[in-house]
Structure 1
Amino acid sequence: MRDKWTLEELKAYLLIYAMNADKKLTQEEVEVIKRYVSPKTFIKVHNEFDNDKHHQRIEKINAAIKSLNLTKNEIQNLFYDVEEVFNADKDFSIVERNIAIGLKRILDF
């Protein structure tokens, strides 16, 4: 695990996490993510995400939030971006709802 992520890398990881929640990747979800992060960051972080196990993903998200020392407002804004990915395909599934609840707990807001 890298020692420190940038805010863009954390955002990319969270958005990719959301995109993969229901195991149905859509072009709409990818387009939302690409509005928020650079193509280079998307590819780099997506490759890292694909190589991580579920528990590693949670640990990395927690570690990045702590190391970036984000305010509640910044965390809330990140979650709003995550919600946009969940809603991109117009199908906010029960799995995505459960992941959203879990992310709120992880993000502590």
Structure 2
Amino acid sequence: MKDFTTDWTPDELKAYLLLYCTHCHIEETDEDKELIISKVDKDIYKRIHKEIDKDNDYQSLEKILNTIQRLGYTHDDIEVLIQDIKELFLQDGEFDTLEQNMLRQLKHLLN
């Protein structure tokens, strides 16, 4: 069985999680990229982007969950991540069914 342990910092986790969320529409927009870079360093964005492009959905979720546990995230820490995800989803003025479902599933998994 593969080990999904990471050595990510909180910013790297945030970048990975937000990039993961952009995949619900298959394609990341320029607006998505700008928002993510506004929340984390551009070098982190580039490095994490290369990593997530290699991972499948299962690997991504395992890395996210294991990193949240390793970093000892509290309910409040997770709520901050959820707010960042909402901001990403709402930036185009819409909150479509795919985004709603992804947010609901992530809330369930992360809490």
After TM superposition, the score normalised by the length of structure 1 is 0.92
Matches of 1:6 and 1:104, distance apart in 2: 21
Matches of 2:29 and 2:67, distance apart in 1: 26
Q: Kindly report structure 1 stretches of 4+ aligned residues shifted beyond 6 Å.
A: none
Number of residue pairs matched? 108
Question: Residue 79 of structure 2 aligns with which residue?
Answer: 76
Question: Residue 92 of structure 1 aligns with which residue?
Answer: 95
Which structure 2 segments of 5+ residues have no match?
A: none
Which moves more between the two structures, 51-60 or 93-102?
93-102
Which structure 1 segments of 5+ residues have no match?
A: none
Matches of 2:30 and 2:6, distance apart in 1: 31
2:45 alignment partner, one of 38, 42, 45: 42
Aligned with 2:95: secondary structure? coil
Across the aligned residues of Structure 1 and Structure 2, the Cα RMSD in angstroms comes to 1.2
What letter is aligned with 1:94?
A: T
After TM superposition, the score normalised by the length of structure 2 is 0.90
- CA offsets 1:34-65 (integer angstroms, 9 cap, x no match): 11010100011011001001100010000000
Matches of 2:27 and 2:55, distance apart in 1: 18
Between 1 and 2, higher relative CO (CA 8 Å, sep ≥ 6) is seen in 1
What letter is aligned with 2:38?
A: R
